[in-house]
Structure 1
């Protein structure tokens, strides 16, 4: 009996020790959150090398372009997740030494040192670990699947000499729209299979909501040397050109964007950029005139918010959607930090993420604020910019409710408050428009910059203009705001 008892105890002891060893080894084998974040950072670097190389190559294969869009989506998601965890860690450290920093000029609800960036109560603990594990696994699987893509990519010719940083590349290409750009280029450069007089004119409809980037995408396509060599003339019509009832032919309005009679075989590219609908009767007259008055190989691109223009096309319409929040953050971060590494400035990155969240996917707002922040690279100014933008968002949401998205593209008067308050009145953006001549607006004494509007001390006149942005693409449009001084509505004056 004693022998049996001794044997049983020895077996139990052995099993207990084995269980303890297994649990210890399992615990040691499981990577920590910091190790997972470092792994994700290394994988994203590998992924970014491939994506940035692909951005400067001419990829004709639609399958490769689709795979590239998947690689970019995973890269944006990975960096978004990495930056969220970085901001959370930094904000945790700031809370421990918050007494050393004075944020008295920033309202507490927009104080980046007192908030967990982009996290909610149900995103803590196990939920965060699960999110990180999912993103890490997805990025790892994507990299394992891209070996054939890299091989085929090496055979694609370069578009131009690769710049040394992604932020320079953004000035040369349309961010996040490579598939759409190649779709347009294929349409424009495709030779007609059966040329002849009176044949149908190829039409590509581009459909998308306001400010999604339709006009900018077309501008980038028109600036491509291949397009300028393929067409002898590029004619552009906007909404104002088509308002006149007398517009019956392509010679009655519009402007010549490009003309080179020595090349292009006499082909004409007609761009019609219309905000809303085009009357069917007007479209039929313009199309008939263009078909009879242009040579074989001429093309039409028509862009609008309205889905009705899909019926005008001779090919499937190109539909544009807004960027995902991950892609938008990557765009904003690259434009804001430029050649500076965002990871070296976790405090500024946390503020930039909050600003990007308040901009809510607005491309014009991203370009405006990235320029402001990059020109004033310090914590105090960035915190002040966040507080100002938060105040703008708060006041206008109280006034307009869920209809308000952002002040820069809102179709009703938007109320702005300066960071340095000079009076009880608010600045109001009444409308937005664009002009062709940068020189004319720059010489106007009633024209202010966005920096002066938000952070200046001088009180402007009752009505004035603000130059928000100048496009880097010819003809270098100025994006302007018509502004004025106005008291806050009574329903908001006490809030």
Structure 2
């Protein structure tokens, strides 16, 4: 009997959920320290950048899991009447994707197992970074703020460090091949609509090293290249940057395509480029189509949308800023569901993070959540599952009724354009984005809404083309 009692007392007691969450917090703190230190240094080694990308994915996943468990009580209380039981389910990219917050011993055991899985993965990741940290100490420091601070100030592109370094290496690398003077290097950038191709290129062109390396940066769209002639390259396009003091004459040509470009057109364009630019000039061509990969002289950059975990981290930092999320669990629960409803849409994150940050009150956030829910449900009823991926949808999106008694509804067209703020002065036909979603303003006919303005020169404004339309029968 004494032996059995002693053996029972020596048995390992399984940690509670609270203890696991505390362990996760401590591991995330260690991981965050390593990542912030890495973001403060100039890393050019592609293998180190790849490992840093893995560290960030684990951090996003860990914070997402932590926030899911922290917000679940408030999420359950809010969503009982809305029947949104899976609001905080982890994404399909996460091994914890089967988490559902229901009562029951089997469900509790599954949650504990999945939480332990996330903990084990982060532990293994941290154990593997000793060489990374050693080499990191040899990388020169950058004279800038930590990554999170830069994210708040919109001074860097979130989650694209590997891609950005790839572009910088391509642009700044000296040509060694004898034929380089006759055949300028071409870098294809491939990705779906609104994944951030133009924004990535804008960040690269705005880098001081790039502006000091090239005498001029020219930007062409598909409409500029209809004839693909020498005159088009000499006189067409838009001058993004010009450095008259530089005598090297190097030119960076940016070609942004919406649709495919015929191979014969590309050959004429490339031939024209060879005859009018000097050695050391470079070409970047961006498109949704994978066909442009064959145009490149180097491996293409392929952009993908972020995982749900990374998108939540991005949206949370932009929305809460320096405010501690842990101090506002109800707001965090609402923000998490809004991020889920926006389904990794960057424009949605830019618009709603600005609105929420400027109106830091539960009442306004609850109204914003109800608006997003209503938009999603209404358009899924009208369009079916075609509307499930918001950022790929190109048909009119129904927002809200013009008034309570009217059958008319405000709609916004999914396609958007960028334009200079000076070209779109404020006027009676201009509506604020807050009024568009929540206001009582009643414009008639077609009107424009400035959704948000880019922080990068020349500070384009992203406009929504809206109107009033009869609400179809559901």
TM-score, scaled to structure 1: 0.88
Partners of 1:331 and 1:290 in 2: how far apart? 39
Partners of 1:455 and 1:471 in 2: how far apart? 23
User: 1:321 and 1:168, CA in 2 relative to 1: closer, same or farther beyond 3 A?
Assistant: closer
Partners of 2:247 and 2:130 in 1: how far apart? 39
Matched residue, 1:176: 159
Partners of 1:146 and 1:419 in 2: how far apart? 56
Deviates more, 1:148-157 or 1:34-43: 148-157
Partners of 1:440 and 1:353 in 2: how far apart? 36
SS of the equivalent of 2:312 reads: helix
Deviations along 1:171-212, whole A, 9 cap, x unmatched? 111110100000100100110103568521100001111111
Contact 2:218/2:240 (<8 A) preserved: yes
1:78 aligns with 2:62: yes
Following superposition of structure 1 onto structure 2, how do residues 65-464 of structure 1 map, counting pairs within 5 Å? Answer: 65-91=49-75, 95=77, 108-109=81-82, 117-118=88-89, 120=100, 124-163=107-146, 165-166=148-149, 168=151, 171-195=154-178, 199-243=182-226, 249-263=232-246, 265-405=248-388, 410-417=393-400, 421=404, 423-464=406-447
Deviates more, 1:265-274 or 1:168-177: 168-177
Deviations along 1:194-250, whole A, 9 cap, x unmatched? 356852110000111111111100000000111001100000011332346778641
User: 1:407 and 1:419, CA in 2 relative to 1: closer, same or farther beyond 3 A?
Assistant: farther
Deviation at 1:273, TM superposition (A): 0.6
SS of the equivalent of 2:451 reads: strand
Cα RMSD (Å): 2.4
Deviations along 1:394-428, whole A, 9 cap, x unmatched? 11111111211455662111101169857432111
Matched residue, 1:4: none
1:22 aligns with 2:40: no
Partners of 1:185 and 1:167 in 2: how far apart? 19
User: 1:163 and 1:445, CA in 2 relative to 1: closer, same or farther beyond 3 A?
Assistant: farther
Contact 2:343/2:390 (<8 A) preserved: no
Deviation at 1:157, TM superposition (A): 1.9
Q: Which has the larger radius of gyration?
A: 1
SS of the equivalent of 1:251 reads: helix
User: 1:407 and 1:75, CA in 2 relative to 1: closer, same or farther beyond 3 A?
Assistant: closer
TM-score, scaled to structure 2: 0.91
Structure 1: unaligned runs, 5 residues or longer: 1-12, 96-102
Contact 1:433/1:480 (<8 A) preserved: yes
Aligned length: 462
User: 1:282 and 1:60, CA in 2 relative to 1: closer, same or farther beyond 3 A?
Assistant: same
SS of the equivalent of 2:284 reads: strand
1:60 aligns with 2:44: yes
Matched residue, 2:92: none
Partners of 2:229 and 2:426 in 1: how far apart? 35
Structure 2: unaligned runs, 5 residues or longer: 90-98
Deviations along 1:141-178, whole A, 9 cap, x unmatched? 11122122122222212333215843545611111010
Partners of 2:428 and 2:408 in 1: how far apart? 22
Contact 1:416/1:428 (<8 A) preserved: yes
Deviation at 1:126, TM superposition (A): 1.3
Contact 1:77/1:326 (<8 A) preserved: yes
Partners of 2:426 and 2:245 in 1: how far apart? 37
User: 1:36 and 1:234, CA in 2 relative to 1: closer, same or farther beyond 3 A?
Assistant: same
Matched residue, 2:28: 44
